[in-house]
Amino acid sequence: MNRAYLAAMAGLNTWLTRLAFAALLAPAAAYAAAPIEMMLKDHKFSPSVVTVKAGEPFTIHLTNKDATADEFDSTALKVEKVVTGNSDGMVHIRPLAPGKYPFMGEYHAATAQGLVIAK
Ligand SMILES: [Cu+2]
């Protein structure tokens, strides 16, 4: 093994170490966004307005504190998810273009209204 070979191997080792770190960090980045906590109580969402990053999928963890079921429903977000009374559920939402996306609790739409703002 000559000196040049050893130097090359040392360089490769550093590169492989960086690659290994990048591989470790990549999955973490994909799951970086924690679910947005949202509550339904007295047939109202809180928070009723949430701001998210455009172009990234996200999840809303909806806790229904009411005794009756409701459906997180949005034509704009292309999502429907029933959450039974005193229960919770995950609402998965696709990456959005910048804009405003209304949603509602379909079973109590008179009061259960909300808005996602993607920036
Ligand atoms: Cu519906």
Q: For residues 96 and 118, is the Cβ–Cβ distance under 8 A?
A: yes
Whether residues 57 and 21 fall in one domain: no
Beta-ladder partners of 50: 116
Q: What is the pLDDT of residue 33?
A: 75
The amino acid at residue 53 is K
Whole-model pTM: value is 0.73
Whether residues 92 and 112 fall in one domain: yes
Q: What is the mean pLDDT of the chain?
A: 85
Residue pointed to by tokens 């070979």: 5
* Phi/psi at 106 (5° precision): -60, -30
Ligand 1 centroid to residue 110 C-alpha, Å: 14
Q: What is the pLDDT of residue 28?
A: 45
% of the chain with per-residue pLDDT over 90: 71
The amino acid at residue 69 is A
What mean pLDDT is predicted for residues 34-53?
97
Q: Which residues surround ligand 1, an ion (CB under 5 A)?
A: 71, 73, 80, 106
Ligand 1 centroid to residue 76 C-alpha, Å: 12
Ligand 1 centroid to residue 92 C-alpha, Å: 15
Whether residues 89 and 45 fall in one domain: yes
Domain span at 105? 36-118
CA dihedral angle for residue 35, residue 39, residue 40, residue 46, rounded to 10 degrees: -110
* 52 has a pLDDT exceeding 90: yes
The token duo for 7 is 């130097």
